[in-house]
Amino acid sequence: MVDSQGDAARDGASANPRVLHVAIPTPLRRLFDYRPVGPAPAQGWQPGLRVKVPFGRRQLVGIVVGASDESDWPLDQLKPIAAHLDDAPLPEDWQWLCRFTARYYQHSLGDTLHHALPGPLRQGRPLEARTRERWELATTLDSAQSRLARAPRQRELIALVAQHRQGVVTSAITAQGFTRAQLQALLDKQLVTRTEEPVTAGEPWQAPLTAEPSLSLNREQSTALAALHEGLDRFHPCLLHGVTGSGKTEVYLQLIEGVLGHGRQALVLVPEIGLTPQTLARFRKRFRVPVVALHSGLTDLERLDAWEAARSGRAPIVIGTRSAIFTPLARPGVIIVDEEHDGSFKQQDGLRYHARDLAIARAHHESIPILLGSATPSLESLAQARSGRYRHLRLTQRASRHAPAKLELVDLRGRLRQGGLIPPVIDAIRQALAAEGQVLVFINRRGFAPTLGCHECGWIAECRHCDSRMTLHRHPPRLVCHHCEHQAPQPDACPACGSADLRPLGAGTERTEETLSTLFPDTPVYRIDRDSTRRKEAFDALLTDIRRGTPSLLVGTQMLAKGHHLPHVTLVVVVNADAGLYASDFRALEQSAQLLIQVAGRAGRAERPGRVLVQTLHPDDPNLRLLADSGYDALAYQLLEERRLAALPPFRHLALARFEAASESDANDAAGAAGEVMRAWLVERELPVHCLGPVPAPMERRQNRYHIQLMLSGERRSALHEASAWLAGWLESNATRKVRWSLDIDPMTL
Ligand code: ADP
Ligand code: ZN
Ligand code: ZN
């Protein structure tokens, strides 16, 4: 039998099964049984075939997970499938990854499979044929060319075809700038012949692989690369822990070259913010072979193309964001996760997976090496490296002449601020500009000011729908809630006391931009945040301007602070480092340290050294001091100790059940009831798992919905897994309309 997550006893599927167990895109964590009808697919009723099935009043695309002669339903009551869509199943390893994901994250398998497919395949479009066309000259070149006297382009094309004795495939011709239509024209004139042939898993691409010479590596880079080359033929997890600018990317490039040399493919995952035209250009410049990118800007068809190129083995290098982890590879050779600590690898709704963690599982299953790279590794990966489960490769030197700049803490207390900046910092900016440098001012808040307040009575602009404040924007003037997008006009007078003395509180990017424009009227000021760069072209144009290197001021959120290579920045200013220091979330400190180091890493990337000024109200905070004086690693190891003492990840495993309802008491009651049965079950089973809560979520009310949560925590992953699987089952069978629930395995925030 096949269980709800598709873990089948996979033998016993007869050639003519009476029942197909099908995963359907619904949130229900179970399979649905159908009768196979019609001619069997060429390769039999195998797991991984897409089928069209009636479901309620609709037809859906499902995926066969197993076939047998048994069902929990009377066989004569099973509905027949409407059609099978494929003759050959989806790739085995891809199916495995989906089953693993569904099981690990307690998610519906049908939903997971759909999530992992490009849109057109989800909608039932046929898989790419596993055949291709080959074109050969049908006559002599001379006679062909004389017949093409008035079609110069076709003459060039026929000359190209004639060069290939064994004929030439379509893709090789389109790669030279010709179109298939031009080939068709030659075929219509009977100057070429066309044959179809099966495609085996792509052909190994041919040397030379690279288009430009690799850099000669420094000693640390060579040591790292040699270690990586040792483990090319097995599961070999490595952490490449190298300071910003230490040449990690160069190590990736040379590792990939080695992998391609063995005829295998490389999958590179990068953070959402990191898949910039710059990153792609760097890969494309290095390699002669195609580099396929998977990102949110693609159309459905482009995505399908990329997916098929990876599946067929045509694409040697695939670069993508989070969801690219579900790209099948014909000949997997390595997975690289760049900036592995980045939060964007975790999907925060629906299927709440972590692409880095799935990458590890996938590499293990496919017996290939995996490389996690970061200047500021997650505590999870650091702990694995320290215990020896991951190989710890370090790069401590920058490739350029200058070591990463130290963080200089600047005391904000009692100082007058202008646009968030105090006079000594403004002076430092003036000096950097005078020395022909660029200055990056980092402020993690878009808008004009974090909120608006009344100086008379203390009223503060709060969102009507959320437990949060409204952000003041200037262009155009309005209040906006960054949590629910609710907007309100900026009031002229205080709604509470009528006073006209309303003041912006604190600074956002717009305000700092305004201040800097006033202070430095002759210097261009570029603001880079989600509001100023809604259009991609606008962003690219800004970056082009900035790379010209004229002295200028860059005011930006983390959009600018991560990922971009800004060679002319000599001074980085962090407007306020304090947000993460005292936040309640257990990862807040780790994340703000990572961000600070990434931001600081923008300074002094090229010829000139850099300086980093960090404004803070807590210059004596021991964590901030440790980060500034001893660097990220020192702080990270200390935070690891604290996590151990507090029994938090990575020393404990967590799962979070979230309950959400329009009424607070409904959400509370549901969470309370679940907590009670969960605790009773844990006691009965004597499982070493704690169940805490219910407690309100950090922002309890969001868009007028109340959020209550329940936490499971366990030292053993297997015990936690058992408990969360049981809870998911209970929640599913006790669901009500009023309360929505979700389960988050390895949550990023509590
Ligand atoms: P990281 O990925 O660690 O931030 P990069 O790979 O982007 O670092 O390297 C930073 C800069 O140093 C780049 O301009 C890169 O071309 C250069 N670089 C890297 N390795 C070398 C090397 N071995 N020799 C010379 N320059 C290098
Ligand atoms: Zn007031
Ligand atoms: Zn709101």
Residue ranges of the binding site: 454, 457, 463, 466, 481, 484, 494, 497
461 CA → ligand 3 middle, Å: 11
2 CA → ligand 3 middle, Å: 45
pLDDT number for residue 130: 62
Whether the predicted pLDDT of 564 surpasses 80:
no
Ligand nearest to the CA of 607: 1
Question: Is the minimum distance from the CB of 604 to ligand 1 under 6 angstroms?
Answer: no
Question: Is the minimum distance from the CB of 286 to ligand 1 under 6 angstroms?
Answer: no
Distance CA 261, CA 317 (A): 12
Q: What are phi and psi of 80, to 5 degrees?
A: -80, 155
Distance CA 475, CA 581 (A): 31
Contact 610, 571 (CB under 8 A): yes
Range with lowest mean pLDDT among 47-56, 556-565, 659-668: 556-565
Contact 390, 372 (CB under 8 A): yes
Question: Is the minimum distance from the CB of 215 to ligand 1 under 6 angstroms?
Answer: yes
CA 504 to chain centre: 35
Residue ranges of alpha helices (H) inside 377-489 are: 379-386, 423-434
pTM value is: 0.88
Residue whose tokens read 């700049």:
405
**Residues near 386 by Cβ (< 8 Å), separated by ≥ 6?**
392, 640
482 CA → ligand 3 middle, Å: 7
Average pLDDT of the residues in 201-208 = 63
Contact 747, 691 (CB under 8 A): no
Residue whose tokens read 């009651």:
669
Q: Which residues surround ligand 2, an ion (CB under 5 A)?
A: 454, 456-457, 459, 494, 496-497, 499
486 CA → ligand 3 middle, Å: 5
pLDDT number for residue 129: 63
Whether the predicted pLDDT of 40 surpasses 50:
yes
Please report which confidence band the pLDDT of residue 176 belongs to, taking 50, 70 and 90 as the band edges: confident
Question: Is the minimum distance from the CB of 241 to ligand 1 under 6 angstroms?
Answer: no
Q: Please count the residues of the chain.
A: 750
Question: Is the minimum distance from the CB of 250 to ligand 1 under 6 angstroms?
Answer: yes
pLDDT number for residue 570: 92
pLDDT number for residue 9: 43
473 CA → ligand 3 middle, Å: 15
Question: Which residue has the least CA distance to atom 19 on ligand 1?
Answer: 247
Express each pLDDT in 377-391 by its tens digit: 999 999 999 999 999
First to last CA, the chain: 38
**Residues near 461 by Cβ (< 8 Å), separated by ≥ 6?**
451, 452, 453, 469, 470, 472, 479, 488, 491
Question: Could you give the 3-state DSSP secondary structure of residue 744?
Answer: strand
Q: What is the mean pLDDT of the chain?
A: 90
Ligand nearest to the CA of 493: 2
**Residues near 201 by Cβ (< 8 Å), separated by ≥ 6?**
312, 313, 330, 331
249 CA → ligand 1 middle, Å: 7
DSSP state of 469: B
Average pLDDT of the residues in 252-261 = 96
Tokens found for residue 205: 């691409």
Range with lowest mean pLDDT among 111-125, 360-374, 389-403: 389-403
Whether the predicted pLDDT of 467 surpasses 70:
yes
Distance CA 314, CA 330 (A): 9
Whether the predicted pLDDT of 5 surpasses 80:
no
Pick the more confident residue, 172 or 262: 262
Pocket test for ligand 1, best of 249, 394, 398, 599 (most atoms within 8 A of CB): 249
Distance CA 618, CA 207 (A): 57
Distance CA 261, CA 275 (A): 25
Ligand nearest to the CA of 566: 1
Distance CA 286, CA 291 (A): 10
497 CA → ligand 2 middle, Å: 4
Ligand nearest to the CA of 454: 2
Please report which confidence band the pLDDT of residue 314 belongs to, taking 50, 70 and 90 as the band edges: confident
Question: Which residue has the least CA distance to atom 12 on ligand 1?
Answer: 399
Distance CA 249, CA 224 (A): 12
Q: Which residues surround ligand 3, an ion (CB under 5 A)?
A: 463, 465-466, 481, 483-484, 486
For the chain, percent of residues with pLDDT exceeding 70 = 95
Residue ranges of the binding site for Zn(2+): 454, 457, 463, 466, 481, 484, 494, 497
Tokens found for residue 644: 């151990």
465 CA → ligand 2 middle, Å: 21
Question: Is the minimum distance from the CB of 399 to ligand 1 under 6 angstroms?
Answer: yes
Question: Is the minimum distance from the CB of 242 to ligand 1 under 6 angstroms?
Answer: yes
Residue 173, Cβ density class (10 Å: 0-12 exposed, 13-18 middle, ≥19 buried)? buried
Distance CA 305, CA 325 (A): 16
448 CA → ligand 1 middle, Å: 37
Ligand nearest to the CA of 465: 3
**Residues near 689 by Cβ (< 8 Å), separated by ≥ 6?**
682, 712, 713, 714, 719, 720, 722, 723
Whether the predicted pLDDT of 200 surpasses 60:
no
Question: Is the minimum distance from the CB of 245 to ligand 1 under 6 angstroms?
Answer: yes
Distance CA 87, CA 45 (A): 9
497 CA → ligand 3 middle, Å: 23
Pick the more confident residue, 543 or 448: 448
DSSP bridge partners of 165: none
Question: Is the minimum distance from the CB of 265 to ligand 1 under 6 angstroms?
Answer: no
pLDDT number for residue 531: 80
Question: Is the minimum distance from the CB of 606 to ligand 1 under 6 angstroms?
Answer: no
pLDDT number for residue 611: 93
Ligand nearest to the CA of 701: 3
Question: Is the minimum distance from the CB of 221 to ligand 1 under 6 angstroms?
Answer: yes
Range with lowest mean pLDDT among 50-59, 78-87, 604-613, 638-647: 604-613
pLDDT number for residue 310: 94
Express each pLDDT in 475-519 by its tens digit: 889 999 999 999 999 999 999 999 999 999 988 999 999 999 999
Average pLDDT of the residues in 212-237 = 93
Express each pLDDT in 71-103 by its tens digit: 999 998 999 999 999 888 999 999 999 999 999
Per DSSP (E only), the strands in 170-294 are 192-198, 236-242, 265-269, 291-294
CA 499 to chain centre: 47
pLDDT number for residue 626: 97
Average pLDDT of the residues in 389-413 = 90
Cβ density class 664-684: b for 16+ within 10 Å, e for less? eebbbbbbebbbeebeebbee
Distance CA 689, CA 683 (A): 9
ipTM of the complex: 0.97
pLDDT number for residue 11: 44
Q: What is the CA radius of gyration of the chain?
A: 29
Average pLDDT of the residues in 428-452 = 93
Whether the predicted pLDDT of 6 surpasses 70:
no
* Ligand 1 closest atom vs CA 565: 7
Question: Could you give the 3-state DSSP secondary structure of residue 115?
Answer: helix
* Ligand 1 closest atom vs CA 242: 3
Please report which confidence band the pLDDT of residue 620 belongs to, taking 50, 70 and 90 as the band edges: very high
Strand order across the beta sheet in which 50-55 lies = 32-34, 19-23, 58-68, 50-55, 83-84
For the chain, percent of residues with pLDDT exceeding 90 = 70
pLDDT number for residue 10: 45
Helix axes 248-261, 277-286, angle to 10 degrees: 40
Q: Answer whether the bond into residue 424 is a cis peptide, omega within 30°.
A: no
Please report which confidence band the pLDDT of residue 171 belongs to, taking 50, 70 and 90 as the band edges: confident
Distance CA 499, CA 514 (A): 26
DSSP assignment of 695-724, as one string? Answer: EEEEEEEETTEEEEEEEEEESSHHHHHHHH
Pick the more confident residue, 264 or 11: 264
Ligand nearest to the CA of 482: 3
Whether the predicted pLDDT of 393 surpasses 60:
yes
Contact 649, 639 (CB under 8 A): no
Pocket test for ligand 1, best of 250, 282, 371, 547 (most atoms within 8 A of CB): 250
Question: Is the minimum distance from the CB of 513 to ligand 1 under 6 angstroms?
Answer: no
Question: Is the minimum distance from the CB of 623 to ligand 1 under 6 angstroms?
Answer: no
Whether the predicted pLDDT of 12 surpasses 60:
no
Question: Is the minimum distance from the CB of 247 to ligand 1 under 6 angstroms?
Answer: yes
327 CA → ligand 1 middle, Å: 28
Tokens found for residue 584: 């309640």
Please report which confidence band the pLDDT of residue 8 belongs to, taking 50, 70 and 90 as the band edges: low
CA angle 63, 65, 69 (to 5 degrees): 120
**Residues near 318 by Cβ (< 8 Å), separated by ≥ 6?**
265, 266, 267, 268, 292, 293, 294, 306, 309, 310, 324, 327, 329
pLDDT number for residue 492: 93
* Ligand 1 closest atom vs CA 606: 14
478 CA → ligand 3 middle, Å: 14
702 CA → ligand 3 middle, Å: 6
Contact 209, 258 (CB under 8 A): no
Q: What are phi and psi of 254, to 5 degrees?
A: -75, -30
The winner for highest mean pLDDT among 50-54, 150-154, 171-175, 299-303 is 50-54
